[in-house]
Structure 1
Amino acid sequence: MIVYGRNVLKEILTSNHPVKLIYFSDSHDKELDKLIEQVKERKLPYTIAPKNVLKKLCGEEKNQGVVIDIGDFQYADESYLPENPFIVLLDQVQDPQNLGAIVRTAVAAGVNMVVLTKDNSAHVTPGSIKASAGTIFRIPIVITVNLARYIEKLKDKGVWIYGADMRGKPLWEVKLERPLGIVFGNEGSGIRQLVKESCDELVSIPMKTPIDSLNVSVSAGILIYEVLRREMGG
């Protein structure tokens, strides 16, 4: 997989995600020189190339002089489960921009992992990486074939699962305490019925002026930060 940008490279260096080759533009500035030195110190493979080569590799002229071939993205194993977790589960969220935005919020708020469905779902792509500003490398991402079954396994391990649904209880009426997971559904159809039935409780975001729904990344941001607010004593 080809990704690009200085922030993306910084996140890759922070996360120690493996790389196949890093391409730097032959037109340097001080920040780029500093990144090259960091790459050298870590003994990562890199090369210096003309701007037109970088543009051809990533298809984007505004690549900030950095293009990275990361090979295959390293997903976490489905058995992975941190202690006392806060988990975000996405039920067939299909827009890479939404995935990236949700991951960026999740990382900022201290979510421990993100779970995606294998089918009919956005996965980690250059688009979702860009939308996450590279933060997607900071958090374990799991792909599961059967989300309802995966949720049952989480529940067996003591994780309380909420489903974000307009027919759920208002968020101030639910505990939202770790260990917990929150499921967010598809942009058009929401959470599938079988997955919804697997949730322990449904939670909704109150609206002063009722509308059909909020964008899934907005809903995720509100509920994720409500958990953080409570954890910080707000």
Structure 2
Amino acid sequence: MAQLIFSLVPVALGVVLSPLAIMALVAVLLSRHARTNGIAYLTGWFLGLSGLMALFLWLFPLIAVHERGQPPLWVPAVRLLFGIFLTSAAVWVYRKGRARIASMAAASSPREVVAAAPHLPGWLHTVESFRPGRTFLLGLGLFVLNPVDASCAVIAALDISLADLDADAGLWVAAAFVVVGTLPIGVPVLYVAVRGAAAQPLLDDVRTWIAGNTHVLNAALLLVIGVLQLEKAVSGLL
């Protein structure tokens, strides 16, 4: 159990520190229907995370035919693919962040500074007009369709499925993973529900900080998760 939890920590952090999801949440919480849209976004995110976990927790035991306690060959192959994808994503995230910082440092005019500064994706500016139904789909889609977040959920389900645990213990670990992965969305939604309009200054600060400072942290997390999957893949293939 302890080894499983330890291996899931970086995977959970990969979900918790999803910058795009948090930036989208901030935009939702600054919209005209902040409370209802926040709850809708949280519901969509929760169902995306828990739904993927449930799907693969059902699927992996169904297709993983264990022989003498050893997982089949496709398991390390899947880990290898995830490892390559996540380490490549880490390099891309880091290089993109470095390039943006270099552009800002080389800027010699206010216009160049503005052009080089980090911006939110253009589609986030339309979120303020969303109704709860579209906001729910946004929360759901940002998890299910984000390859990094979805990969973390699949990796967690794979690790839980292969762990030497009974069904009840595995479900408790999966439930804890879902709760931890939902906290970065649930806590701000609760904060806005309690504070209302007074929460806006903090939300603006969070959005600015995320846009400009998370590339190194996210690259490091992706690299750690990717390297762990590569190590498990190599061990499984040898």
Q: TM-score range by the shorter chain?
A: under 0.3
In terms of fraction of residues, the more strand-rich structure is 1
Larger RCO (CA within 8 A; separation ≥ 6): 2
In terms of fraction of residues, the more helix-rich structure is 2
